[in-house]
Chain A
Amino acid sequence: MLSILVRRIANIIPTLLAVIALVFLLFSVLPGSFISGMNEDGRSTIDPAVMERMRKEMGLDDPLPERFAKYVARTAVGDLGTSFRTREPVTSMIGARVWPSLKLVFAAMAFAICVGVTLGFVAALKPGSLVDTLSMVGAISGLSLSQFWFGLMLMYLFALQLKLLPSFGYGDGGLRHLILPAVALGVGPMALLARTTRAAVVEVLNADFVRTARSKGMSERLVVKWHVLRNALVLVVTIVGLQFGSLMGQAVVVEKLFAWPGVGSLLVDSVFQRDMPSVQGCILMIVLFFLVINTLVDLAYVVIDPRIRYR
């Protein structure tokens, strides 16, 4: 188990390098830079000499391969550089925002798993029933909802109309502020999980070994408990892993909408200002999260499914 873990972690490194390279490349072909952006609001003008000096200070003059090599070398020792905008180290900027982001992502996923998997199970065990129809209609709607619109609707209903929950912000970091953004973020994965869980359970219920279990004189309840649950779980874990990993990236919209001080909203702000080091750091963080979750899912397979052995 330990050697698997070590190898999986070693596998993460080349992926991270590729991501950094890609972001570097993309920003080098984008027109404009942090410096040229400073002039864009039209209110202030900056002396071209000052701009030239700043460009030099920030290393924007150096050729791309050199900047890339420098960045990788610094990242390797845990230094993500200094933000152009705030002049703070990017590591500490992200550090302050990781916890709110994680909280949001975990809360959204907990919501998605609890509601989605339960709905999927109930729907699969009573196919054609009202619960089945309703939950599948709900799942399709959930999948096709725009997070942005759904978030606004949640705000309107629960904050403005019912005045039950705060409409935005982090507040004291308590549960009340977490609920609405978590639901807005979790509704997509919830819908997907409901559908895949239903499909997985229906598939397992038609498996030969379930017929065997019935031929042994087992009640339907025990058939599900002893033979269906775990087999369906293998399929569900895959989807949970994929959704979970990409959720931090998806959180960008929701964080911005709810003014949630997470990595996602930092990323949006940084992109608008072409604050390269901060953008790099945020993307690195989001990718790292994806890779870590994927690794954990791979390990979860080993625990659940005895047929899977990594070599």
Chain B
Amino acid sequence: MTAPLLRVEDLRLALAGDRASHDAVEGVSFEIGRGEAFGLVGESGCGKSITALAVMGLLRAPLSLAGGRIVLDGQEIQDASAAEMRRLRGKRIGMIFQEPMTALNPLSPVGRQIAEMFVLHEGASWNEAMDRAEEALRQVHVPSPERRIRDFPHQLSGGMRQRVMIAMALACGPDLLIADEPTTALDVTVQAEIIDLMAELCSAKGTAILMISHDLGLVANMCRNVAVMYAGRIVERQPADAIFAHPRHPYTQGLVDSLPRLGERAKRGRQKLREIAGVVPSIAAYPSGCRFNPRCPAATDICRQVAPDLTALPAGGLVRCHHHG
């Protein structure tokens, strides 16, 4: 097997508090191969977004990188200088954010915001960059891009704005695209279009995707491998189809059960969607033992006392549960 494009090893992110510092994320490891789509799933507050920001080198106080390695294409980047990281960002790693309205500068025409990429990373002149921005908009299927490049973000719909974000993130042909909840803020009908567009462009250019979402269904459709995070740790990692068919961690099981399925309602009668009881614990108050134990239907004494390790499953994949058998 060739070296992966991105390898994250034992990542630890610290959140500085008033009195003590807490680990917001710990022991997170995963690999993404070239051109592979990898999904990171979990509820809000589980640490998936800050993991992505750590890869981008965009953590800001009170968050900081406390340990672990981030290897991009064989090169360790966790200690890279600010200038080195600037050359990687945008050029080798592109990123799309959740809310395309606030993620775009409201006072700058969208064409210009895309053109900045060519000026920054390829030394293009503004004229040339604007022409290429128009072409980039055409590639993300924005109608009449020659007019749209002069539009301001508020003149575009949510879906169009997210297309602009995609055009921007992919402008310089990065090796990796990080998509942080790219469709959460969009209408359901537009969500599928955006996902298809990302998949189409990335597979055409061989761009790997790190897809971050709370929506297991969406991630499983798009990605080959999926890791599920809970309270700052990866609790399960499996190929996408396996995670759906045989979720091994009770939390993943809960996520799968909470997805609506067509036809199921008739079979089970008028049953409500199942939810996972309780909420994600706050970083300062992680429970001892398995962090999921207060919400876990199968929790026993050992779960409350001993933190489980990630163990390999016979069929491949990893799970962090005392009772995964």
Kindly list chain A residues whose C-beta atoms are within 8 Å of the C-beta of B103: 208-209, 211-212
B window 222-245: CB within 8 A of A: none
Q: Is A176 an interface residue (CB 8 A)?
A: no
Which of the 9-residue segments A12-20, A162-170, A216-224, A285-293 touches chain B?
Answer: A216-224
Pick the contact of A230: B89, B107, B169 (CB < 8 A). B107
A216 in contact with B97 given A227-B108, A306-B107 (CB within 8 Å): no
In the complex the two chains form, is A209's CB within 8 Å of B104's CB?
yes
CA distance A207 to B116 in the complex (A): 18
Q: Is A5 an interface residue (CB 8 A)?
A: no
In the complex the two chains form, is B99's CB within 8 Å of A208's CB?
yes
CA distance A219 to B99 in the complex (A): 23
In the complex the two chains form, is A226's CB within 8 Å of B97's CB?
no
CA distance A219 to B121 in the complex (A): 12
What is the interface size of chain A, counting residues whose CB is below 8 A from a CB of the partner? 22
Pick the contact of A209: B86, B102, B154 (CB < 8 A). B102
CA distance A212 to B162 in the complex (A): 12
Q: Is A271 an interface residue (CB 8 A)?
A: no
> Closest Cβ of chain B: how far from A302's Cβ, in Å?
12
CA distance A217 to B121 in the complex (A): 8
Q: Classify the interface of chain B: helix, strand, loop or mixed.
A: mixed
> Closest Cβ of chain B: how far from A255's Cβ, in Å?
38
Instruction: Give the residue name and chain of the A residue nearest to B112 (CB).
Output: A226
> Closest Cβ of chain A: how far from B314's Cβ, in Å?
40
What is the interface size of chain B, counting residues whose CB is below 8 A from a CB of the partner? 29
A window 207-249: CB within 8 A of B: 207-209, 211-219, 222, 226-227, 230-231, 234
Instruction: Give the residue name and chain of the A residue nearest to B93 (CB).
Output: A215
Pick the contact of A307: B90, B91, B106 (CB < 8 A). B106
Pick the contact of A226: B87, B104, B108 (CB < 8 A). B108
Kindly list chain A residues whose C-beta atoms are within 8 Å of the C-beta of B152: 306-307
> Closest Cβ of chain A: how far from B242's Cβ, in Å?
32
Q: Is B218 an interface residue (CB 8 A)?
A: no
A-B contacts counted at CB < 8 A amount to 74
A217 in contact with B90 given A212-B103, A226-B108 (CB within 8 Å): yes
In the complex the two chains form, is A215's CB within 8 Å of B108's CB?
no
Kindly list chain B residues whose C-beta atoms are within 8 Å of the C-beta of A217: 85-91, 120-121
- Among B58, B86, B91, B105, which residue has the most Cβ atoms of chain A within 10 A? B105
Kindly list chain B residues whose C-beta atoms are within 8 Å of the C-beta of A234: 107
Q: Is B95 an interface residue (CB 8 A)?
A: yes
Instruction: Give the residue name and chain of the B residue nearest to A233 (CB).
Output: B107
Kindly list chain A residues whose C-beta atoms are within 8 Å of the C-beta of B165: 212
Kindly list chain B residues whose C-beta atoms are within 8 Å of the C-beta of A73: none
CA distance A257 to B105 in the complex (A): 47
Q: Is A305 an interface residue (CB 8 A)?
A: yes
A304 in contact with B86 given A216-B168, A217-B91, A226-B116 (CB within 8 Å): no
Kindly list chain A residues whose C-beta atoms are within 8 Å of the C-beta of B154: 306-307
Kindly list chain A residues whose C-beta atoms are within 8 Å of the C-beta of B90: 215-218
CA distance A300 to B50 in the complex (A): 39
In the complex the two chains form, is B95's CB within 8 Å of A215's CB?
yes
B window 90-148: CB within 8 A of A: 90-91, 94-95, 97, 99, 102-108, 116-117, 120-121
Instruction: Give the residue name and chain of the B residue nearest to A230 (CB).
Output: B107
Kindly list chain A residues whose C-beta atoms are within 8 Å of the C-beta of B89: 214-217
CA distance A216 to B171 in the complex (A): 10
In the complex the two chains form, is B120's CB within 8 Å of A305's CB?
no
CA distance A218 to B113 in the complex (A): 12
> Closest Cβ of chain B: how far from A221's Cβ, in Å?
11
CA distance A230 to B152 in the complex (A): 14
Pick the contact of B116: A211, A218, A307 (CB < 8 A). A218
CA distance A116 to B223 in the complex (A): 52
In the complex the two chains form, is A209's CB within 8 Å of B106's CB?
yes
Q: Is B256 an interface residue (CB 8 A)?
A: no
> Closest Cβ of chain B: how far from A224's Cβ, in Å?
12
CA distance A211 to B154 in the complex (A): 19
Pick the contact of B120: A218, A227, A230, A307 (CB < 8 A). A218
A window 234-276: CB within 8 A of B: 234
Q: List 5 A-B contacts (CB under 8 A).
A: A209-B102, A209-B104, A215-B89, A218-B120, A222-B120
Q: Give the interface of A toward B (CB within 8 A).
A: 207-209, 211-219, 222, 226-227, 230-231, 234, 304-307
Across the A-B interface, give the 9 residue pairs with the lowest CB-CB distance, nearest first: A217-B90, A217-B89, A208-B102, A216-B90, A215-B95, A209-B105, A306-B152, A217-B86, A208-B103
